[in-house]
Structure 1
Amino acid sequence: MSSPHILINRMNFNLPNGQILFNQLDFIFSATKTGLVGKNGIGKSTLLKLILGEHPPHSGSIHINGQLAYLQQSMAPQLLSSTITIAGYLGCEAKLEALYRITEGSVDNDDFTILNDEWDIEAQINKHLAAFGLEHLAYQRQLGTLSGGEMTRLFLAQTFFSKADFLLLDEPTNHLDSNARQQLYQAIQQWRGGLIIVSHDRTLLNLMDNIVELNSNGATKYGGNYEYYAEQKGLHEAAQQQELMDAKKLIQKTKKTIQESHEKHDKKQSYGRELRRSGSIDKMGGDSKKGRSERTQSKLLTMSERLQHSAETALQSAKEKIEIKEAINIELPATYVPSGKILLEIEHLSFAYPDAPNRIIENINLQMQGAERIALAGDNGSGKTTLVKLIMGELKPLSGKIFIGTPYVSYLDQNASLLKAELSILENFMLLNPDSNENEAYRHLARFLFRNTAANKLVCHLSGGEKLRALLACVLMSKHPPQLLILDEPTNHLDLESVESIESALNHYQGGMIVISHDQIFLDNIGIGRIFSVY
């Protein structure tokens, strides 16, 4: 019996709008841990659905040797109010009921058949629930009564509880707090089957055996984890840049060679004409030399065309291999905050939602000075977003004081809610910055890589990374940019390239920053200097 694998053979697949997503894709996934990366829209989630059979390929084939289990990126809405029990969702309800009947004295053969000798079924369930911090939940608890965080962790527990040969996980760390992420990392390390994971979480990707990058040329496999992939990709890109430089040099050299050959030939022709005029050679000899010269010129032209075509082909080939990646390079002096300036001071802050039995915020004290960068830490539901809403004045505290030392404060959530979906990026910029003219708006947007017609894209057609980049442009390039910037889970739903682009923009920002994020590498890369726990 052959080992589990997924074989993709010359597969073609187009989107409904006709866009070619996969063209003659050939690839094989073995039963190892594989991270699937690539730009938003390149087809990572679609590839998982093709493997699952939810989308049929237009041509080619996908052969699967083994069983699959799938964790999708977002939960099905109907489960939020479902009366299905935890045992039912895990597919164990019938076995548990059979076990209970047997322990109470049943000798019915059907019960023994249903149980199928899994006498440790309770221990198996408890093990997988405990792995994601759900050991407190009763088997008969209905899904509709779970919190969002409990529901997400139950989905993970159910996926790892399966006896599949391959687990397919689509952005599994989205919406997970730090504790749940650690539980997922541990489950992944202990999993002995195959894994295919779509993720922008670099900590998770460092647990992989391989990284597969989807790009316009197909799929490229890098043996090793994310750090190794980033290193090898950097070397690969450097080699491609060198190939491009060599091709450009070849073009210049070819042009120079052709020019020198033509000049040498023209010089000989000129000398021959002078000899004929002076009578140094007779007419017959002159005509013979003229004929040879014309044949030489024809050969020279053919050779020049061949050399030029060869050099231009090499240049075009080198250009096609390179993915254009541009970093955001901006100066933001207006966001500068002096080191001694108090940007934010919170004293003895408390808050409770109406009819809630307990206060979600209790006696919090916090002071921010200068361009300090603080991350708010805590489990889902601990009050991080509530604290931000109190700072922004969207909620009123029960007690305590909040002092903000600047009139320029901006709050950016993961959905870029400040942007109007039906308007273009340019129109949103003008709406949020009414004191700017259109030329200024185009210039500012170009610095955030929205050049020319790209600025006219509708926000509803942007990827998650493009939306956040557009919002940062609208906010940071204002005539009065924020000196205090508050970000709520900014990297959710972004591809790795978008995350790096956002990191680049934030590293040019000179004001204070409060960030809610469970992505530790992102926090490190933007220079977070202090963790403030909310619980």
Structure 2
Amino acid sequence: MSSSLSLSHVSFVLPEGRTILDDLTFALGPGRHGLVGDNGSGKSTLVRLLAGELAPTAGTVEARGRRGYLPQTRAWAGATVADVLGVAPALAALARIEDGSVDPADYDLVGDDWDLPDRVERWLGQVGLAGLGPDRPVSAISGGEATLLRLAGLMLGDPEILLLDEPTNDLDADARARLTRIVDEFSGTLVVVSHDRSLLERVDHVGEVRAGAVRWFGGSFSDYEAVIEAEQEAALRSVSAAKADVRRQRQDLVDQQVKQARRDRKGRANADSLPKIVAGAYQRKAEVTSGRLRGMHEDRLGASRAALATAQDRLRDDRRIRVDLPETQVPPRREVLRAEGVVPAFGTARSFDLDVRGPERIALVGRNGAGKSSLLRALLGLQEPRAGRSVVHVPWRYLPQGVDLLEPERTILENVREAAPEAEPGTVRAQLARFLFRGNAVDQVTSTLSGGERWRATLASLLLSTPAPQLLVLDEPTNNLDLASIAHLTEVLDGYRGALLVVSHDAAFLADLGLDRSIEVV
């Protein structure tokens, strides 16, 4: 029997009443299906519903086949490799049986899975974790390795339906290649939420989650983008035509009012020479005609405005961030950072000499677990290195992985003013407008923001702080970002004039940064 997922009139509403997904009905069969959409659009909620992790507010979700689900948030504090693989009880039972146990409970735990150790070894090898012992704590491996470990655990269960939520977060190039191979070879029903373009190019269908609905497009991500681009071009033409029609109808209404005013003046002049009863009849007739004409033109203007509103609704919010940050500028030869013989606390045993000058843009790249994040912290003096020393000579700001720097109960304006206490409120408001927070938007409480809005506000608090950062250090900044937010990050960095140190596995993002050099951490 072929695997499949189906939703019938499914809705999901948060306890406070906000609708995330509204009346979804669709079915997915064998093949690779990608889900895209802005942060906060409901992609992860939809995958959790498909996985059976959430119950819908209304409607039904049906799955035909064994499901394997890799969530975006993956916390395994205190867990061992065997725990994450989901095989700890069975492996322990096998060990007891080998030691002579005849307890029926041990045999029940093993079932027919007598080759479990071999299968564990095989799948660990396929995800690049060969030799990882079952008792090893997950805290001793990198985030990317833990993701691959969880994936191996899913595949051990021989799933017929595979649900992956941002699976490439934290993965280096080799790990992404292994994940891609698993995706390519999977013959069941696969649903993947991702902002990774290379992964999305491998899907058969793309579902866009937007405004509580899901719209499906045939083909890869490039095919989806081509359709959206064509639709937006058509929508722009419709908006332009509708605006022109509104202007024309508004002018026709004005012209009619001017003509009527002239006729009224002429009628009043002629009325003086007519009997009162005749003049009154002419006036009533003129008023009826005038009202009819005015009503006709007002109706036409109203219809044109409605058509304009409909056309504008089809346009997407593709606003660009255009910032200029002259305070972050560093002279070309000024020394920004100097490191001598630095060996990070974790990962690589290699020592690093680094001299950063002027507005250099440098990427630290390398495999998962190599110690890239540890090296960043050592360079900034946030973590004691095993050897060496590092000095930063300019103001700097650091964004570690997955850390939200904003106070959730403060407004956007309050958060940014906290970072720049001497700045005038009006100045901060003007600067926030360049980050697409205009007018009363700056008074929104941070906890109510969408993921993309929170990310823009975080960037604003970093880059508008005083003193202005002349060194910006980012650790995997595109993790958990949708494609629009990645584009906004790239736009902001286009206007940044200081030195940049970035750790990232996102090849497309690094290519857009205009790097001066890359340093491999091995």
Q: Please state which band the TM-score falls in when normalised by the shorter chain.
A: 0.7 to 0.9
How many angstroms apart in 2 are the aligned matches of 1:302 and 1:432?
Answer: 56
Question: Does 1:293 pair with 2:286?
Answer: yes
Question: Does 1:524 pair with 2:511?
Answer: yes
Q: CA deviation at 1:191?
A: 1.7
Equivalent position of 1:51 in the other structure: 50
Q: CA deviation at 1:67?
A: 3.4
Rate the CA distance shift 1:86–1:23 in 2: closer, same or farther, 3 A. Answer: closer
Rate the CA distance shift 1:264–1:445 in 2: closer, same or farther, 3 A. Answer: closer
Structure 1 gaps of 5+ residues are 354-358
Question: Does 1:229 pair with 2:224?
Answer: yes
Residue range with higher mean Cα deviation, 491-500 or 3-12? 3-12
Partner-residue secondary structure (3-state), 1:231: helix
Residues 377-526 of structure 1 mapped to structure 2, 5 A cutoff = 377-404=365-392, 406-416=393-403, 418-526=405-513
**Contact kept? 2:321, 2:491, Cα under 8 Å:** yes
Q: 1:432-467 CA distances to partner (integer Å, 9 max, x unpaired)?
A: 223222222222222222334332334444455444
Equivalent position of 2:168 in the other structure: 173
**Contact kept? 1:361, 1:383, Cα under 8 Å:** no
Q: 1:334-353 CA distances to partner (integer Å, 9 max, x unpaired)?
A: 22223333333333333557
Equivalent position of 1:333 in the other structure: 326
How many angstroms apart in 2 are the aligned matches of 1:434 and 1:276?
Answer: 72
Rate the CA distance shift 1:221–1:275 in 2: closer, same or farther, 3 A. Answer: same
Q: 1:15-54 CA distances to partner (integer Å, 9 max, x unpaired)?
A: 1110011222233323221221112222111111222333
Rate the CA distance shift 1:417–1:265 in 2: closer, same or farther, 3 A. Answer: closer
Partner-residue secondary structure (3-state), 2:241: helix
**Contact kept? 1:416, 1:467, Cα under 8 Å:** no
Equivalent position of 1:81 in the other structure: 79
Residue range with higher mean Cα deviation, 514-523 or 170-179? 170-179
Q: CA deviation at 1:417?
A: 5.4
Q: 1:333-377 CA distances to partner (integer Å, 9 max, x unpaired)?
A: 222223333333333333557xxxxx8443312233322211111
Equivalent position of 2:180 in the other structure: 185
Residue range with higher mean Cα deviation, 246-255 or 82-91? 82-91
1:312 maps to which of 299, 305, 308: 305
How many angstroms apart in 1 are the aligned matches of 2:53 and 2:284?
Answer: 72
Partner-residue secondary structure (3-state), 2:350: strand
Partner-residue secondary structure (3-state), 2:496: coil
Q: CA deviation at 1:516?
A: 0.7
Partner-residue secondary structure (3-state), 2:382: coil
Residues 259-298 of structure 1 mapped to structure 2, 5 A cutoff = 259-268=254-263, 270-271=265-266, 274=269, 277=272, 290=283, 292-298=285-291
Equivalent position of 2:141 in the other structure: 147
1:129 maps to which of 124, 136, 141: 124
Residues 91-102 of structure 1 mapped to structure 2, 5 A cutoff = none
Q: 1:133-163 CA distances to partner (integer Å, 9 max, x unpaired)?
A: 122235x546668635443212111223443
**Contact kept? 1:86, 1:142, Cα under 8 Å:** no
Q: CA deviation at 1:481?
A: 1.5
One-letter identity of the residue aligned with 1:193: G
One-letter identity of the residue aligned with 1:440: T
Q: CA deviation at 1:505?
A: 0.3
One-letter identity of the residue aligned with 2:509: F
How many angstroms apart in 1 are the aligned matches of 2:298 and 2:199?
Answer: 53
Residue range with higher mean Cα deviation, 155-164 or 120-129? 120-129
How many angstroms apart in 2 are the aligned matches of 1:35 and 1:87?
Answer: 25
Residue range with higher mean Cα deviation, 470-479 or 492-501? 470-479
Q: CA deviation at 1:322?
A: 2.8
**Contact kept? 1:35, 1:212, Cα under 8 Å:** yes
1:218 maps to which of 210, 213, 216: 213
One-letter identity of the residue aligned with 1:471: T
**Contact kept? 2:337, 2:356, Cα under 8 Å:** yes
Q: 1:391-410 CA distances to partner (integer Å, 9 max, x unpaired)?
A: 21223445444344x32222
Q: CA deviation at 1:122?
A: 6.3
Q: 1:80-128 CA distances to partner (integer Å, 9 max, x unpaired)?
A: 3359567753997599789989xx9x9x9x999x876x89766654443
Q: CA deviation at 1:268?
A: 4.8
How many angstroms apart in 1 are the aligned matches of 2:295 and 2:448?
Answer: 49
Q: CA deviation at 1:418?
A: 4.5
Q: 1:289-309 CA distances to partner (integer Å, 9 max, x unpaired)?
A: 555434423432332232133
Question: Does 1:362 pair with 2:332?
Answer: no
Q: CA deviation at 1:233?
A: 2.0
**Contact kept? 1:143, 1:151, Cα under 8 Å:** no
How many angstroms apart in 1 are the aligned matches of 2:9 and 2:383?
Answer: 56
Equivalent position of 1:356 in the other structure: none
How many angstroms apart in 2 are the aligned matches of 1:398 and 1:98?
Answer: 42
Partner-residue secondary structure (3-state), 2:473: strand
Partner-residue secondary structure (3-state), 1:73: coil
Partner-residue secondary structure (3-state), 1:374: strand
**Contact kept? 2:362, 2:518, Cα under 8 Å:** yes
Partner-residue secondary structure (3-state), 2:256: helix
Residues 95-110 of structure 1 mapped to structure 2, 5 A cutoff = none
Partner-residue secondary structure (3-state), 1:81: coil
CA RMSD of aligned residues (A): 3.6
How many angstroms apart in 1 are the aligned matches of 2:271 and 2:385?
Answer: 104
Residue range with higher mean Cα deviation, 205-214 or 14-23? 205-214
**Contact kept? 2:246, 2:304, Cα under 8 Å:** yes
Question: Does 1:10 pair with 2:9?
Answer: yes
**Contact kept? 2:31, 2:189, Cα under 8 Å:** yes
**Contact kept? 2:76, 2:84, Cα under 8 Å:** no
Partner-residue secondary structure (3-state), 1:492: coil
How many angstroms apart in 1 are the aligned matches of 2:213 and 2:307?
Answer: 21
Question: Does 1:156 pair with 2:167?
Answer: no
How many angstroms apart in 2 are the aligned matches of 1:397 and 1:67?
Answer: 47
Equivalent position of 2:361 in the other structure: 373
Q: CA deviation at 1:513?
A: 0.7
- Identity score, percent: 33
Rate the CA distance shift 1:235–1:346 in 2: closer, same or farther, 3 A. Answer: same
How many angstroms apart in 2 are the aligned matches of 1:242 and 1:50?
Answer: 38
Q: CA deviation at 1:164?
A: 2.9
How many angstroms apart in 2 are the aligned matches of 1:134 and 1:308?
Answer: 67
Q: CA deviation at 1:496?
A: 1.9
How many angstroms apart in 2 are the aligned matches of 1:350 and 1:142?
Answer: 25
How many angstroms apart in 2 are the aligned matches of 1:6 and 1:215?
Answer: 20
Partner-residue secondary structure (3-state), 1:155: helix
Q: CA deviation at 1:62?
A: 2.8
One-letter identity of the residue aligned with 1:376: L
How many angstroms apart in 1 are the aligned matches of 2:344 and 2:19?
Answer: 52
Q: CA deviation at 1:215?
A: 0.9
- What TM-score do you get using the length of structure 1 for normalisation? 0.85
How many angstroms apart in 1 are the aligned matches of 2:504 and 2:373?
Answer: 11
